[in-house]
Amino acid sequence: MRPALLAPLAILALAAPAQAAGRIADPVATEMSVTTPDGFVIKGTLTLPPAKRNVPVVILAHQFGSDRSGWAPLTEALHTRGIGTLAIDLRGHGASTQKNGTEVKITSDFAASAKAVGFDQIPSDLGLAAAWLRKQHGVDGRRIGLAGASVGAFSVLLAEPRVHPIAVLSLSPAGNVAFGDRALDEAKAAILKGGAPVLVMAAQNDKGAYDNAEAVKGLPGVDVLTSEGKAHGFDFFKDRVDTMAVFFGEYLTYHHLGQSYARPAKEAAPKPAETPSGDGSN
């Protein structure tokens, strides 16, 4: 049986690891470069906080039209909790635009870019990144998390059986068209096969992402937080960074150490806070 969310996120947000406050040394960054079977060179940055032992790491897949730098609010929150990050540029984005020696980049057209660049291969790219990650010094390969936004969020759901994470965060899962007619069924199957706890965030007026969130809501181990408005992907950072960091902290640190937080007797589960409006784009 897959684990349920171990404690209400509102309570956990008050419980950042005590050692984070006393950390002085800066995180150490290492550049990643892996080549996919179809010839794309995928670039990324592995950042590890200083630690006396191997640390857990979250692999980050950004949204369409962005790059790895878009994760900065979350990476900072994770590093202070002793969790490393591997932020990658998805194929066709940022520094990941070389395919067999030729530059292949996205355009402003999502559907055309998905076909030209091969967004359906992103889950496989994440599997390659995870394999590279587990070979790096200072990384605890048993404690890997996955996080994605928009098309990256849909990709991390599909990638779960390849990566074998112990926790998955999906911000506004969208871009189904990039993954074929059976994309949602395949995502559900991947969630069930992967078996990791999944936290999905979506806004009620962000139709595609909200519909996907509702579709996976009843699956074992899936927690869905919805909010008013149309915030999409990185738009959730303004009010929910602590929630995201605490989610990973619970599964990648406390849960691993056999520790958890109990909800006080008769305390109700927290209600999701309203999220500011966004543009709802992929």
Tell me which residue of 273, 277, 194, 249 sits closest to 74, measured CA to CA.
249
Number of compact structural domains in the chain: 1
- Residue 53's domain is classified under what CATH number? 3.40.50.1820
Domain that holds residue 235: 33-254
Say if 46 falls within a structural domain: yes
- Whether 145 has a pLDDT exceeding 90, the answer reads yes
Say if 74 falls within a structural domain: yes
Per-residue model confidence (pLDDT) at position 258: 45
Say if 280 falls within a structural domain: no
Tokens 């543009």 correspond to what residue?
A: 279
Say if 5 falls within a structural domain: no
* pLDDT tens, residue by residue, 86-106: 999 999 999 999 999 999 999
Confidence of residue 268 (pLDDT cuts 50, 70, 90): very low
**Distance between CA atoms of 282 and 272, rounded to whole angstroms?**
23
Say if 193 falls within a structural domain: yes
At 94, which amino acid appears? Answer: G
**Distance between CA atoms of 151 and 281, rounded to whole angstroms?**
10
* pLDDT tens, residue by residue, 12-39: 444 444 444 444 578 999 999 999 999 9
User: What pTM did the predictor assign?
Assistant: 0.85
Confidence of residue 52 (pLDDT cuts 50, 70, 90): confident
